[in-house]
Structure 1
Amino acid sequence: MRQPMIDTYEEAIEAVRACGILPLAPLIPDHPSLSGITLPERWHSDTELDPWRWRVRFPGDGIAAYGKFMKKKAILVASDLVPSVRSLLGSSRSIAQRYGDGLISKAAKEVYAIIEEEQGIETRALRAAAGMKAKESKKEFDQALAELQSGFDIVISGVRAPRNEAGEVNGWNSTCFETVEHWMEGAGIPLAPMSADEARSRLQARLGEHSSPQAMAYFAKVFGF
């Protein structure tokens, strides 16, 4: 699929909706990425034309779910495809059930519980609440976040600037997380369960509208078409 170069957030919205699934960096064969359809000098420019800023506007505006959903790489999933992708990458079983069966780690279970309790929690606070502030705990914490994102249990919902006791911005922006159900509800996306067969059918039809044969072959491996 050939996607024209874009300049504005509004054009980026149209690109996400057209592609259905848009990685931030090149990942899918013969398929656009946000970095591939924007000028490199715009990234991290901290202006309205900065795609790095757009990436967290999409989930905030309900345009797309954002997270490391595939191959531990950051992906945007257009809102109309979220139920299908959730059905195929996620699980109908609860976190507690999966932990009981040894399907997820204890760290992932604990991190999920904190996010569920405090939707939109930012990374620093989340790490502290999970008791993983120590340097040697960083790998375990990062793995828990990756595990929950790849299972479509949580999404990146935005960023937040850390503030000191005086309320002044103090440090770099920190990523915020929500459970996928909470984000979907806020974005007005139906939460009704969908069968795997229906999800594959919808996803294949939608992605097939604009994706190349090479990209569809990749999607077929990921989603089991």
Structure 2
Amino acid sequence: MVDYKVKTYEEAIKVIEELGLLPLASLIPDYPSLNSLTLQENWHSDTEFDPWLWRTKFSSDGVAGYGKFIKKKSILVSRELLPYVKKVLGSNELIEERYFSGSISREANSIYKIISQEEGIDTRALRARAGLKEKEKKKIFENALLDLQGSMDIVISGIQEKKNIDGEKNGWSSTAFETYDSWTSRNKIANIDSSREDAKKYLIAHFSNVCSKESLTKFEKIFG
């Protein structure tokens, strides 16, 4: 069980590879998070030791899949475990099939199409393209993004810096999204042929070796 403080990006990568899944903040009982493993004074320090900057770097470097995959909370999943987590949390149906069956919203269907046409699109542009820029539509937009991340149809692929006409950073950076299929293909992560049940068994076997019984019980519930 990991119980030491992480100070560098490289050390954090090793933890993700060892654990397989690392929430940004506390989520699993008796289980570490990026927040619990790092020094609080380094967060938002805008230095190379800032875990807030690492979170999207993991994804942009192809180290780990990143998104709000579990309980609408931000999670990092190693390259090794990602296809298994996708098999368990994802759906066998295409987005369009789920839309026509009523299991996802019209907005989620539309947003997925936009992302698939413009992989790596940032939140500002995505919201505008989806026709959801109005203040009263913000929640609809956010819920659609959460639904698509929860089924692992999309991942957070990095950030887009807001720049002025001179190319200088100007304002807050914006989250960028990419379809799961595009991100894994680009980072050479293959799909698995296992059934959902076999994928779940693989995950439970993995976590039984890296976490406590209390944590494992929670993982069993999450993976259903």
TM-score (structure 2 length as normaliser): 0.97
> Contact 2:46/2:53 (CA < 8 Å) preserved in 1?
yes
User: Any idea what the Cα deviations from partners look like across 1:58-87, whole Å, max 9, x if unmatched?
Assistant: 111211100001111101111100111001
For 1:153, the equivalent position in structure 2 comes to 153
For 1:40, the equivalent position in structure 2 comes to 40
In the alignment, the residues of structure 2 paired with residue 193 and residue 115 of structure 1 have an alpha-carbon distance, to the nearest angstrom, of: 26
In the alignment, the residues of structure 2 paired with residue 44 and residue 166 of structure 1 have an alpha-carbon distance, to the nearest angstrom, of: 26
User: Any idea what the Cα deviations from partners look like across 1:128-166, whole Å, max 9, x if unmatched?
Assistant: 000111111100000000000001110001001012333
For 1:85, the equivalent position in structure 2 comes to 85
SS of the equivalent of 2:32 reads coil
For 1:197, the equivalent position in structure 2 comes to 197
> Contact 2:111/2:144 (CA < 8 Å) preserved in 1?
yes
SS of the equivalent of 1:80 reads coil
In the alignment, the residues of structure 1 paired with residue 172 and residue 48 of structure 2 have an alpha-carbon distance, to the nearest angstrom, of: 18
Q: Quote how far apart the aligned CAs of 1:221 are.
A: 0.3
User: Any idea what the Cα deviations from partners look like across 1:95-134, whole Å, max 9, x if unmatched?
Assistant: 0000010000011000000000000000000000001111
SS of the equivalent of 1:156 reads strand
What's the RMSD between the two structures over aligned residues?
1.1
State the identity as a percent: 50
Which residues of structure 1 form unaligned runs of 5+?
none
In the alignment, the residues of structure 2 paired with residue 166 and residue 181 of structure 1 have an alpha-carbon distance, to the nearest angstrom, of: 34
In the alignment, the residues of structure 1 paired with residue 193 and residue 171 of structure 2 have an alpha-carbon distance, to the nearest angstrom, of: 41
Given the superposition, is the C-alpha separation of residues 79 and 131 from structure 1 closer, same or farther in structure 2, using an over 3 Å criterion?
same
User: Any idea what the Cα deviations from partners look like across 1:23-55, whole Å, max 9, x if unmatched?
Assistant: 000110000000001000000000000000110
TM-score (structure 1 length as normaliser): 0.97
> Contact 2:84/2:192 (CA < 8 Å) preserved in 1?
no
For 1:116, the equivalent position in structure 2 comes to 116
In the alignment, the residues of structure 2 paired with residue 128 and residue 169 of structure 1 have an alpha-carbon distance, to the nearest angstrom, of: 21
For 2:137, the equivalent position in structure 1 comes to 137
In the alignment, the residues of structure 2 paired with residue 62 and residue 12 of structure 1 have an alpha-carbon distance, to the nearest angstrom, of: 14
More deviation, 178-187/199-208: 199-208
In the alignment, the residues of structure 1 paired with residue 88 and residue 192 of structure 2 have an alpha-carbon distance, to the nearest angstrom, of: 14
Q: Quote how far apart the aligned CAs of 1:192 are.
A: 4.2
> Contact 1:67/1:156 (CA < 8 Å) preserved in 2?
yes
Q: Does residue 107 of the first structure (1) align with residue 127 of the second (2)?
A: no
More deviation, 8-17/193-202: 193-202
> Contact 1:81/1:203 (CA < 8 Å) preserved in 2?
yes
For 2:49, the equivalent position in structure 1 comes to 49
Aligned residues: 224
Q: Quote how far apart the aligned CAs of 1:193 are.
A: 4.2
Amino acid in structure 1 at the alignment position of 2:183: W
Q: Does residue 174 of the first structure (1) align with residue 174 of the second (2)?
A: yes
Within 5 Å, give how 1:58-73 maps onto structure 2.
58-73=58-73
